[in-house]
Chain A
Amino acid sequence: MISDMKPEDIVGDYRETVLTFYDGTRRKVLYTELETPYPDGKLIVSTTTPEGVIRQVNRAFVEMSGYSEAELIGAPHNILRHPDMPAAAFKDLWETVQRGEKWQGYVKNLRKDGGYYWVKATVIPNVRGGKVVGYTSVRRKPSRTRVDECAKLYPTLR
């Protein structure tokens, strides 16, 4: 389960909406127009279970998401889902990695404080002894040109 976002965590003016995930669960999200720039030279790294539950995060993940490590471990990865992201992108992600292939795309992530940050994300299945035991996701600083393209494209896909 994923808890609703709380007004006391939000920095700045916010809007409110309810997201419905692929498994039918819902989350109230509060989001602002404040962007946190991706830091130079860093990678955000996490691993999840085959069901997408976060198992491991690095320090950059904690810093950029605004959540503590304890809040992240055991939470579904869609704790970062921003309402501006089209569901089709994540459907494609899951279908790709479940086929055992690598997925790459530009993603607008939602912070605990309601702000957002853009990443270039790569997700690969962790294959051990021929079996998928989870996924590794690595996010890096995206090109501004590609972010601007996606910011225009994604609303048309929702």
Chain B
Amino acid sequence: MTFLFTVSPDFAPDRLSGWYIFNTWLQKQTGTAIHLEMYNHYQQLHQAIEADKIDLIYANPYDAAMLVRNKGFLPLAKAQGQADEAIIAVNADSSVRDVADLQANSRVAFTDDPDVRLMGMIMLEPADLDAGNIVPVLADTHVLVAKHLLKGEADAGIILAEAYDNLSGVIRKQLRVLVRSQISVIHHALMVGPRLQAKRGEWRQVLLDMAADEKGRGVLAALGFDGWQTIDDEEMEFMIDLMDTLNT
């Protein structure tokens, strides 16, 4: 039997090959046939989840909640020291100096990345902005959110902090960050679905040992990770509860 592995579509584009290398490594280590399917959009991913096609997923926190509660997924591990954060940026020439300066009907650019949008909308609340009084500008990628700002097609943009930090210096110079989230406890998680749960303990150990092995370290480097670290069930439940409090 071949299991299906996927990665949340918010992966950094330059890590795409890293995920294929990781999949090859994982198959060798576990002696299990795993097919990696990368979806470009959340809609495609959510259809696959709904159809119970996925067995292993590097999920963003928003999807992780749904996978645990509705689909019986369990957490394996998270990338060491990594957390999901978002920024609100404006064009460097904008007269907006503070989030509170943004007015109703502001054009706000974001991607369909659900947790980044959630964190971003929370940071817009102090300006009395919500989904009902902004003009959404949907973009396919975080880079395109930045471009909307540069072209004056959006008044503010919500960008994954990691994606913002990876923008070229030329682009970043033309933007100004109004606020950066410091939430620290929201992160992606590698999770197994019901068909792989018998292997959970074994696979988790393989992941935890990865940084101690030379080849494993090379694979981790391709992902931009220092190593994996266990997520226990209660930590995952805590994050889900936290997402639940934010999702209002």
| Selected contact of B241 from candidates A43, A126, A140, A144, CB within 8 Å | A126
Size of interface on B: residues with Cβ below 8 Å to A: 23
B123 at the interface (CB under 8 A from A): yes
B126 at the interface (CB under 8 A from A): yes
Q: Residues of A contacting B100 with CB < 8 Å?
A: 144
Size of interface on A: residues with Cβ below 8 Å to B: 28
Cβ of B91 to closest chain A Cβ, rounded Å:
19
Q: Are B248 and A102 in contact (CB under 8 A)?
A: yes
B246 at the interface (CB under 8 A from A): yes
Q: Residues of B contacting A141 with CB < 8 Å?
A: 123, 125-126
Q: Residues of B contacting A136 with CB < 8 Å?
A: 238, 241-242, 245
Indicate with 1 or 0, residue by residue over B168-192, a CB within 8 angstroms of chain A CB atoms.
Answer: 0000000000011111110000000
Given known contacts A120-B125, A143-B126, A143-B127, A58 and B184 CB-to-CB distance under 8 angstroms: yes
A41 at the interface (CB under 8 A from B): yes
A99 at the interface (CB under 8 A from B): no
Q: Are A43 and B183 in contact (CB under 8 A)?
A: yes
| Selected contact of A143 from candidates B128, B241, B244, B248, CB within 8 Å | B128
A42 at the interface (CB under 8 A from B): yes
Chain B residues with CB under 8 Å of chain A are 99-100, 122-123, 125-128, 179-185, 237-238, 241-242, 244-246, 248
9 interchain residue pairs of minimum CB distance: A122-B245, A138-B245, A40-B179, A136-B241, A41-B181, A143-B128, A41-B179, A141-B126, A42-B182
Chain A residues with CB under 8 Å of chain B are 38, 40-43, 45, 47, 58-60, 102, 104, 120, 122-124, 126, 128, 136-138, 140-146
